[in-house]
Structure 1
Amino acid sequence: MMRLNLMPWRERQRLAALRRLRLMLLGSAILALCAVLLMDQLARDRAQRQAVGNAALQVAVAGLDEQLEQFEPVNQAYESVRAQIAAVAALRADQGIVVNLLADLERALPEGIQLTELKLERSRLHIGGLAASGAVVAQFMRDLERAGSLLDLELKRVQSTAGGEAFLLAARMSADWS
């Protein structure tokens, strides 16, 4: 039987497989390098587009800021008008308080009393007048307390005169007044 030496053939096969492996490794490295370069280029392009977009947005924002600066006097005038409207509304509300106070005084005023003085100092109201008797003054005080627009009502003095009883009342205005 003849013996064949397959060693050179096997050696050639091994070297061919090694060359194929080296070529595949080199091809994979080149392909990976190309992929990395491509991804880098895409990232740079995207960053450049974003920078251009940001610059355009900055220009647009600057234009809008200029427009807002043009409207600033209008906004200030608007706020001034709103403040004036609020002040007028507060005055009207206070006007209603005075009207209500006078209406309460009129409703509480019994027959036999004549008011001679109404004086408002800060939130204190002083009421002076002449009454037919002390009982009429007491009735007037009870009616004023029921009205609710005056608080801490107190009788300061009662003096007998030829025309009747002269009296002086003091009261604190309700919190709505201040």
Structure 2
Amino acid sequence: MARINLLPWREELREEKKKQFLTVLVGVAIIAGGLVFLAGRQVEGIIGHQIARNDYIKKEIKTLDQKIKEISALRKKREELLARMKVIQELQGTRPVIVRVFDEVARSVPDGVFFTSLSIKGNNLAVQGVAESNNRVSSLMRDFDQSDWFSSPNLQSVNKAGTRAGSDFSLTVTQVNPNQSEVVKKGGKK
């Protein structure tokens, strides 16, 4: 039999397959590296887009916070204005009452009685004055008691005037509003 040596041919084939394998392996590695690079770029793009969205949301939140502060300031100013308007309305509403009270005081003072001091604290009217006699003081208290604008006259003191004829007196009386009293009598609220 003839002897043929096939080893070198097989060796060359093996070397060629090894080269092809390495070429394919390098190609796959390059393609895999490219895919990893592209995937990394894609993820970075998504992250960048999300960061941009987050920044936009933070910017809008700051804008809304400023608007909320402005709204709070406007509400506070509104409450202050409403409080001022309420005070003004109360003052305008009580203006005729005060005029009526002083008119009623003038009507209630009998002849021979002179006021030296008149003060109002809340609904209490404090009167100090001089009367020709104790009967005049009694008359003044009756007039206050019969008035629709006053109730509960209370004599604090009566003193004999030193050098003058007559008596010094001090009394308090409660101011009432007859319009509110009628509402209360009918069962309504003040």
User: Under a length normalisation based on structure 2, what TM-score does the superposition of the two structures give?
Assistant: 0.48
Taking the aligned partners of 2:122 and 2:85, their CA distance within structure 1 comes to: 25
Which stretches in structure 2 are left out of the alignment for 5+ residues?
A: 1-63, 181-190
Taking the aligned partners of 1:121 and 1:167, their CA distance within structure 2 comes to: 19
Size of the aligned set, in residue pairs, is: 114
Quote the residue 1:60 is aligned against.
none
Quote the residue 1:85 is aligned against.
85
- Look up the equivalent residue of 1:86 and give its one-letter code: K
Quick check: 71-80 or 114-123, which moved more? 71-80
* Alpha-carbon distance change, 137 to 81 in structure 1, aligned in 2, over 3 angstroms: same
Deviations 1:59-93 (A, max 9, x none): xxxxxxx8x97988766655543332221011222
Taking the aligned partners of 2:77 and 2:157, their CA distance within structure 1 comes to: 53
Quote the residue 1:104 is aligned against.
104
Are the aligned partners of 2:153 and 2:171 in contact in 1 as well (CA < 8 Å)?
Answer: yes
Quote the residue 2:152 is aligned against.
152
Deviations 1:9-54 (A, max 9, x none): xxxxxxxxxxxxxxxxxxxxxxxxxxxxxxxxxxxxxxxxxxxxxx
Q: RMSD across aligned C-alpha pairs, in angstroms?
A: 3.2
- Look up the equivalent residue of 2:105 and give its one-letter code: L
Taking the aligned partners of 1:167 and 1:77, their CA distance within structure 2 comes to: 49
* Alpha-carbon distance change, 121 to 76 in structure 1, aligned in 2, over 3 angstroms: closer
Secondary structure at 1:148 match in 2: coil
- Higher relative contact order, chain-length normalized (CA < 8 Å, sep 6+): 1
- Among residues 154, 165, 171, which one is paired with 2:167 in the alignment? 165
Taking the aligned partners of 1:120 and 1:76, their CA distance within structure 2 comes to: 33
Taking the aligned partners of 1:75 and 1:160, their CA distance within structure 2 comes to: 61
Taking the aligned partners of 1:117 and 1:124, their CA distance within structure 2 comes to: 14
Secondary structure at 2:120 match in 1: strand
Identity %: 20
